[in-house]
Structure 1
Amino acid sequence: MPEPDGSDSEKNLFVMLDTAIAALKTPVEGNDVEKEKAAAAIDKTNRGLKNSLNNVLTVRAELGTQLSELSTLDSLGSDRALGQKLQMSNLVDVDWNSVISSYVMQQAALQASYKTFTDMQGMSLFQLNR
Protein backbone atom coordinates (compact mmCIF):
# COMPACT_ATOMS: atom_id res chain seq x y z
CA MET A 1 0.00 0.00 0.00
CA PRO A 2 1.60 3.30 -1.03
CA GLU A 3 1.99 6.21 1.30
CA PRO A 4 -0.44 9.17 1.12
CA ASP A 5 2.21 11.19 -0.73
CA GLY A 6 2.46 8.44 -3.39
CA SER A 7 5.83 7.06 -2.32
CA ASP A 8 6.35 3.38 -1.58
CA SER A 9 6.16 2.29 2.01
CA GLU A 10 9.22 0.91 3.76
CA LYS A 11 9.48 -2.88 3.53
CA ASN A 12 12.18 -3.51 6.15
CA LEU A 13 10.58 -3.92 9.59
CA PHE A 14 13.77 -2.98 11.43
CA VAL A 15 14.18 0.25 9.47
CA MET A 16 10.53 1.09 10.21
CA LEU A 17 10.98 0.45 13.91
CA ASP A 18 14.25 2.41 14.02
CA THR A 19 12.49 5.36 12.34
CA ALA A 20 9.65 5.23 14.88
CA ILE A 21 12.07 4.96 17.81
CA ALA A 22 14.10 7.90 16.52
CA ALA A 23 10.88 9.92 16.12
CA LEU A 24 9.84 9.07 19.67
CA LYS A 25 13.26 10.08 21.02
CA THR A 26 13.16 13.46 19.28
CA PRO A 27 12.17 16.27 21.70
CA VAL A 28 9.02 17.90 20.37
CA GLU A 29 7.99 20.21 23.20
CA GLY A 30 7.16 23.62 21.87
CA ASN A 31 8.24 22.74 18.31
CA ASP A 32 5.23 22.13 16.07
CA VAL A 33 7.33 21.24 13.01
CA GLU A 34 9.18 18.48 14.90
CA LYS A 35 5.87 17.32 16.38
CA GLU A 36 4.38 16.91 12.89
CA LYS A 37 7.51 15.16 11.60
CA ALA A 38 7.42 12.73 14.52
CA ALA A 39 3.69 12.10 14.05
CA ALA A 40 4.23 11.54 10.30
CA ALA A 41 7.10 9.12 10.98
CA ILE A 42 5.01 7.18 13.50
CA ASP A 43 2.03 7.13 11.12
CA LYS A 44 4.26 5.87 8.30
CA THR A 45 5.68 3.18 10.59
CA ASN A 46 2.16 2.20 11.64
CA ARG A 47 1.06 1.84 8.00
CA GLY A 48 4.20 -0.12 7.17
CA LEU A 49 3.63 -2.47 10.10
CA LYS A 50 0.00 -2.98 9.06
CA ASN A 51 1.13 -3.75 5.50
CA SER A 52 3.71 -6.21 6.81
CA LEU A 53 1.10 -7.87 9.02
CA ASN A 54 -1.28 -8.15 6.07
CA ASN A 55 1.50 -9.76 4.02
CA VAL A 56 2.24 -12.22 6.81
CA LEU A 57 -1.45 -13.09 7.18
CA THR A 58 -1.79 -13.58 3.42
CA VAL A 59 1.20 -15.92 3.34
CA ARG A 60 -0.10 -17.71 6.42
CA ALA A 61 -3.50 -18.28 4.80
CA GLU A 62 -1.84 -19.56 1.63
CA LEU A 63 0.36 -21.92 3.63
CA GLY A 64 -2.67 -23.12 5.58
CA THR A 65 -4.44 -23.94 2.33
CA GLN A 66 -1.39 -25.78 1.04
CA LEU A 67 -1.01 -27.71 4.31
CA SER A 68 -4.67 -28.68 4.15
CA GLU A 69 -4.19 -29.92 0.59
CA LEU A 70 -1.12 -31.91 1.65
CA SER A 71 -3.06 -33.43 4.53
CA THR A 72 -5.87 -34.41 2.17
CA LEU A 73 -3.41 -35.95 -0.28
CA ASP A 74 -1.67 -37.80 2.55
CA SER A 75 -4.99 -39.20 3.74
CA LEU A 76 -5.91 -40.19 0.19
CA GLY A 77 -2.54 -41.91 -0.24
CA SER A 78 -3.02 -43.81 3.02
CA ASP A 79 -6.48 -44.93 1.93
CA ARG A 80 -5.15 -46.14 -1.41
CA ALA A 81 -2.25 -47.96 0.25
CA LEU A 82 -4.70 -49.72 2.57
CA GLY A 83 -6.93 -50.68 -0.37
CA GLN A 84 -3.95 -52.04 -2.29
CA LYS A 85 -2.78 -54.04 0.73
CA LEU A 86 -6.27 -55.50 1.08
CA GLN A 87 -6.41 -56.35 -2.62
CA MET A 88 -2.96 -57.94 -2.46
CA SER A 89 -4.00 -59.93 0.60
CA ASN A 90 -7.11 -61.13 -1.23
CA LEU A 91 -4.96 -62.27 -4.16
CA VAL A 92 -2.18 -63.90 -2.15
CA ASP A 93 -4.09 -65.38 0.77
CA VAL A 94 -6.67 -67.09 -1.42
CA ASP A 95 -8.48 -70.33 -0.53
CA TRP A 96 -7.52 -72.35 -3.59
CA ASN A 97 -10.27 -74.95 -3.12
CA SER A 98 -13.04 -72.35 -3.17
CA VAL A 99 -11.44 -70.42 -6.05
CA ILE A 100 -11.12 -73.53 -8.23
CA SER A 101 -14.64 -74.62 -7.32
CA SER A 102 -16.03 -71.18 -8.20
CA TYR A 103 -14.08 -71.17 -11.47
CA VAL A 104 -15.41 -74.60 -12.48
CA MET A 105 -18.99 -73.52 -11.67
CA GLN A 106 -18.63 -70.33 -13.71
CA GLN A 107 -17.12 -72.29 -16.59
CA ALA A 108 -20.02 -74.78 -16.51
CA ALA A 109 -22.56 -71.92 -16.48
CA LEU A 110 -20.80 -70.27 -19.44
CA GLN A 111 -20.78 -73.52 -21.41
CA ALA A 112 -24.48 -74.09 -20.67
CA SER A 113 -25.41 -70.57 -21.76
CA TYR A 114 -23.32 -70.95 -24.92
CA LYS A 115 -25.03 -74.27 -25.76
CA THR A 116 -28.46 -72.75 -25.14
CA PHE A 117 -27.62 -69.79 -27.36
CA THR A 118 -26.39 -71.97 -30.23
CA ASP A 119 -29.46 -74.23 -29.94
CA MET A 120 -31.84 -71.24 -29.93
CA GLN A 121 -30.04 -69.52 -32.78
CA GLY A 122 -31.12 -72.17 -35.26
CA MET A 123 -34.76 -72.07 -34.20
CA SER A 124 -37.55 -69.75 -35.23
CA LEU A 125 -40.72 -68.72 -33.40
CA PHE A 126 -42.72 -71.26 -35.41
CA GLN A 127 -40.52 -74.10 -34.18
CA LEU A 128 -41.03 -73.12 -30.53
CA ASN A 129 -44.81 -73.78 -30.70
CA ARG A 130 -44.44 -77.46 -31.65
Structure 2
Amino acid sequence: MNSRELEGPHIPAHVWDRAEVQQSLLTRDFGQLCWLIRQLCTLRQEDLAAVTGLSQAYLSMLESGSRRLTHIDKIIRMLEGLQAPRELVGPMLLGKDRSRHHPMLSILSELRPIGGDSSAPPTRDGAARSDSACTAILRAVQ
Protein backbone atom coordinates (compact mmCIF):
# COMPACT_ATOMS: atom_id res chain seq x y z
CA MET A 1 0.00 0.00 0.00
CA ASN A 2 1.47 3.38 -0.96
CA SER A 3 1.32 6.57 1.13
CA ARG A 4 -1.50 8.00 -1.04
CA GLU A 5 -3.72 5.01 -0.20
CA LEU A 6 -2.95 5.37 3.51
CA GLU A 7 -3.92 9.07 3.49
CA GLY A 8 -7.21 8.50 1.70
CA PRO A 9 -8.66 10.60 -1.11
CA HIS A 10 -7.51 14.17 -1.59
CA ILE A 11 -10.04 16.94 -2.34
CA PRO A 12 -8.42 19.36 -4.81
CA ALA A 13 -8.50 23.02 -3.81
CA HIS A 14 -10.42 24.03 -6.96
CA VAL A 15 -13.45 22.05 -5.75
CA TRP A 16 -13.92 24.57 -2.94
CA ASP A 17 -13.94 27.42 -5.50
CA ARG A 18 -17.16 26.13 -7.05
CA ALA A 19 -20.21 28.27 -6.22
CA GLU A 20 -22.47 25.26 -5.73
CA VAL A 21 -20.02 23.70 -3.25
CA GLN A 22 -19.78 26.97 -1.30
CA GLN A 23 -23.56 27.37 -1.33
CA SER A 24 -24.04 23.85 0.05
CA LEU A 25 -21.55 24.60 2.80
CA LEU A 26 -23.08 27.97 3.71
CA THR A 27 -26.59 26.53 3.83
CA ARG A 28 -25.34 23.54 5.81
CA ASP A 29 -26.66 21.11 3.20
CA PHE A 30 -24.04 18.50 3.95
CA GLY A 31 -25.78 15.86 1.84
CA GLN A 32 -25.53 18.08 -1.23
CA LEU A 33 -21.96 19.01 -0.26
CA CYS A 34 -20.87 15.37 -0.07
CA TRP A 35 -22.67 14.51 -3.30
CA LEU A 36 -21.04 17.42 -5.15
CA ILE A 37 -17.59 16.56 -3.85
CA ARG A 38 -18.04 12.94 -4.88
CA GLN A 39 -19.15 13.98 -8.38
CA LEU A 40 -16.40 16.54 -8.86
CA CYS A 41 -13.68 14.20 -7.56
CA THR A 42 -15.14 10.91 -8.86
CA LEU A 43 -15.17 9.38 -5.40
CA ARG A 44 -17.33 6.64 -3.92
CA GLN A 45 -19.27 6.99 -0.70
CA GLU A 46 -16.79 4.55 0.82
CA ASP A 47 -13.97 6.96 -0.06
CA LEU A 48 -15.70 9.84 1.73
CA ALA A 49 -16.55 7.60 4.67
CA ALA A 50 -12.85 6.84 5.08
CA VAL A 51 -11.91 10.52 5.45
CA THR A 52 -14.99 11.92 7.21
CA GLY A 53 -15.54 9.35 9.93
CA LEU A 54 -19.15 8.92 8.80
CA SER A 55 -20.33 5.48 7.70
CA GLN A 56 -21.15 4.78 4.07
CA ALA A 57 -24.75 4.06 5.08
CA TYR A 58 -25.02 7.41 6.87
CA LEU A 59 -23.52 9.23 3.86
CA SER A 60 -26.10 7.55 1.64
CA MET A 61 -28.94 8.78 3.88
CA LEU A 62 -27.34 12.22 4.09
CA GLU A 63 -27.09 12.52 0.31
CA SER A 64 -30.65 11.28 -0.22
CA GLY A 65 -31.97 13.85 2.24
CA SER A 66 -33.42 11.29 4.64
CA ARG A 67 -30.94 12.32 7.36
CA ARG A 68 -29.35 15.61 8.35
CA LEU A 69 -25.99 16.20 9.98
CA THR A 70 -26.56 18.40 13.04
CA HIS A 71 -23.96 17.41 15.65
CA ILE A 72 -21.20 20.01 15.64
CA ASP A 73 -18.47 17.51 16.49
CA LYS A 74 -19.42 15.34 13.50
CA ILE A 75 -19.69 18.40 11.26
CA ILE A 76 -16.20 19.56 12.25
CA ARG A 77 -14.74 16.05 11.85
CA MET A 78 -16.34 15.75 8.41
CA LEU A 79 -15.08 19.16 7.24
CA GLU A 80 -11.58 18.44 8.55
CA GLY A 81 -11.57 15.13 6.69
CA LEU A 82 -12.70 16.88 3.50
CA GLN A 83 -9.96 19.49 4.02
CA ALA A 84 -12.50 22.33 3.81
CA PRO A 85 -10.77 25.72 3.80
CA ARG A 86 -11.16 27.60 7.08
CA GLU A 87 -12.28 30.76 5.29
CA LEU A 88 -15.33 28.85 4.02
CA VAL A 89 -16.06 26.98 7.24
CA GLY A 90 -16.13 30.16 9.36
CA PRO A 91 -19.21 31.78 7.77
CA MET A 92 -21.09 28.48 7.87
CA LEU A 93 -20.39 28.03 11.58
CA LEU A 94 -21.20 31.65 12.41
CA GLY A 95 -24.68 31.53 10.92
CA LYS A 96 -26.62 34.22 9.11
CA ASP A 97 -26.68 37.01 11.68
CA ARG A 98 -23.08 36.85 12.86
CA SER A 99 -21.57 36.41 9.37
CA ARG A 100 -23.32 39.44 7.87
CA HIS A 101 -20.14 41.52 7.95
CA HIS A 102 -17.77 38.65 7.35
CA PRO A 103 -14.99 39.29 4.77
CA MET A 104 -16.19 36.21 2.86
CA LEU A 105 -19.11 38.30 1.56
CA SER A 106 -16.77 40.28 -0.68
CA ILE A 107 -15.49 37.03 -2.18
CA LEU A 108 -19.02 35.67 -2.64
CA SER A 109 -20.09 38.81 -4.47
CA GLU A 110 -17.43 38.10 -7.09
CA LEU A 111 -18.56 34.53 -7.81
CA ARG A 112 -20.00 33.89 -11.24
CA PRO A 113 -23.39 32.17 -11.63
CA ILE A 114 -23.12 28.54 -12.66
CA GLY A 115 -26.39 28.14 -14.56
CA GLY A 116 -24.79 28.47 -17.98
CA ASP A 117 -21.60 26.63 -17.09
CA SER A 118 -21.54 23.36 -19.03
CA SER A 119 -18.82 22.01 -16.74
CA ALA A 120 -21.05 22.32 -13.67
CA PRO A 121 -22.35 18.99 -12.39
CA PRO A 122 -26.11 18.43 -12.28
CA THR A 123 -27.98 18.59 -9.00
CA ARG A 124 -28.90 15.36 -7.21
CA ASP A 125 -32.26 15.29 -9.00
CA GLY A 126 -30.60 15.91 -12.38
CA ALA A 127 -31.97 19.43 -12.79
CA ALA A 128 -29.81 22.29 -13.96
CA ARG A 129 -28.76 24.88 -11.39
CA SER A 130 -30.39 28.29 -11.42
CA ASP A 131 -28.45 31.33 -12.65
CA SER A 132 -29.16 32.93 -9.30
CA ALA A 133 -26.98 30.54 -7.25
CA CYS A 134 -24.60 33.30 -6.20
CA THR A 135 -27.49 35.63 -5.36
CA ALA A 136 -28.96 32.89 -3.15
CA ILE A 137 -25.68 32.59 -1.27
CA LEU A 138 -25.56 36.31 -0.64
CA ARG A 139 -29.19 36.37 0.53
CA ALA A 140 -28.55 33.45 2.87
CA VAL A 141 -25.81 35.28 4.75
CA GLN A 142 -27.32 38.78 4.74
TM range (shorter): under 0.3
Flag the structure with more relative contact order, 1 or 2, with Cα contacts below 8 A and sequence separation at least 6: 2
Higher normalized helix content (fraction of residues): 1
Structure 2-normalised TM-score?
A: 0.20
Structure 1-normalised TM-score?
A: 0.21
Q: Which has the larger radius of gyration?
A: 1
